[in-house]
């Protein structure tokens, strides 16, 4: 929502200031300049990046509109889920988590958290770790190193579409100059014409430079910055899961492991100790029970 508000403010401020100086909006409407700048920018994007990065870029741009999902409510649900899983493992042994990790959509615990299940990256990250822990034979230190490698790989992948968008943003002022130069070339061909015609062509050429700079600093660079912050929020969330799982594997009690993870949550999304404890213990019980067996 704030991204949309920002776009409206940018457009409104630029056009409003232009109209205050008695400018004519029709002069700014130069489809040819947009074709040159937009087409060249799109072409450089295709040249520089494989298809999977372009798809991730489109998904990331849609994510800007939705905003980061790693809110306090999301963290509270995740802590509650991990608390229930840890309590189940403490009661029935780590091997009990293997069924949860293998089929999370059928898990008595994980299936209660659709937002967690919907994000396959987060789901696979947690379930793969739980599956390895349930299998045994790996010390907590080695598990921590494995999770760290996984996080580094995912973070590198998350930064690739952001880098692609930043490169496009950086190219836009230069492409605006290209459009302006082409406009000047056209103007020079009409140098013997009436002054108003030459003035119109020079104005159209300058619009190319204006559009390139505006698109860069007013839209695409801020979008890349927003995507970077969303990627950082996601990386912080992975870090919280990592801290909780490693703490439990080192022998911490379920509620203690959750509290250790709570301390790693960024301040703007971190619930208080009382909020976390109440959400984990007083809503839904400590752990989902297995279906009752027939007598």
Per-residue pLDDT reduced to its tens digit, 54-67: 999 999 998 888 88
Q: What's the CA gap between 46 and 82, in Å, rounded?
A: 41
Residue 189 forms part of a structural domain: yes
Domain annotation covers residue 37 = yes
Q: Which of 47, 51, 111 is nearest to 77 (CA)?
A: 111
| Spans of the chain below 50 pLDDT | 283-295
Q: What is the pLDDT of residues 37-93, one digit of tens each?
A: 999 999 999 999 999 999 999 999 988 888 888 999 999 999 999 999 999 999 988
- pLDDT for res 186: 85
Q: Does 241 fall in a domain?
A: yes
In the DSSP assignment, the letter for residue 109 is T
Structure tokens given for 76: 């509270």
Classify residue 192 by its DSSP letter.
T
Let me know if residue 42 belongs to a domain: yes
Per-residue pLDDT, 292:
38
Residue 22 lies in a domain: no
Q: Does residue 291 sit within a domain?
A: no
Domain that holds residue 54: 30-281
Residue pair 204/30 in contact (Cβ under 8 Å)? The answer is yes
Q: How many domains does the chain have?
A: 1
What was the pLDDT predicted at 223? 94
CA–CA separation, 214 vs 244, rounded Å?
45
CB within 8 Å of 183: residues ≥ 6 apart = 33, 201, 202, 204, 205, 206, 207, 208
Report the pLDDT value the prediction gives residue 136, as an integer from 0 to 100.
75
Let me know if residue 224 belongs to a domain.
Answer: yes
In a domain, 64, yes or no: yes
* CA-based nearest residue to 94, from 58, 136, 61: 136
């Amino acid at each position: 929502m704030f991204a949309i508000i920002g776009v409206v403010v940018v457009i409104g401020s630029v056009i409003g200031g232009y109209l205050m100086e008695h400018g004519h909006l029709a002069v700014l409407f130069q489809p040819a300049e947009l074709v040159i700048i937009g087409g060249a920018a799109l072409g450089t994007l295709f040249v520089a990046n494989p298809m999977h990065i372009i798809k991730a870029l489109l998904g990331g741009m849609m994510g800007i509109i939705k905003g980061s999902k790693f809110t306090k409510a999301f963290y509270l649900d995740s802590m509650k889920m991990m608390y229930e899983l840890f309590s189940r493992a403490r009661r029935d042994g780590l091997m009990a988590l293997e069924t949860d990790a293998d089929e999370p959509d059928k898990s008595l615990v994980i299936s209660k958290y659709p937002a967690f299940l919907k994000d396959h990256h987060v789901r696979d990250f947690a379930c793969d770790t739980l599956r390895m822990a349930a299998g045994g034979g790996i010390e907590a230190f080695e598990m921590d190193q494995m999770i760290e490698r996984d996080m580094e790989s995912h973070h590198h992948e998350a930064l690739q579409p952001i880098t692609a968008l930043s490169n496009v943003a950086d190219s836009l002022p230069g492409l605006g100059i290209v459009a302006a130069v082409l406009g000047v070339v056209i103007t020079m061909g009409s140098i013997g014409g009436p002054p108003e015609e030459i003035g119109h062509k020079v104005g159209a050429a300058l619009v190319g430079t204006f559009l390139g700079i505006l698109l860069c600093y007013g839209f695409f660079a801020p979008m890349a910055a927003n995507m970077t912050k969303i990627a950082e929020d996601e990386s912080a969330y992975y870090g919280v899961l990592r801290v909780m799982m490693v703490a439990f594997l080192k022998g911490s009690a379920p509620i203690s492991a959750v509290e250790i993870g709570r301390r790693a949550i960024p301040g703007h999304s971190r619930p208080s100790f009382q909020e976390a404890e109440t959400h984990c213990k007083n809503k839904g019980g400590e752990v989902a029970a297995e279906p009752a067996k027939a007598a």
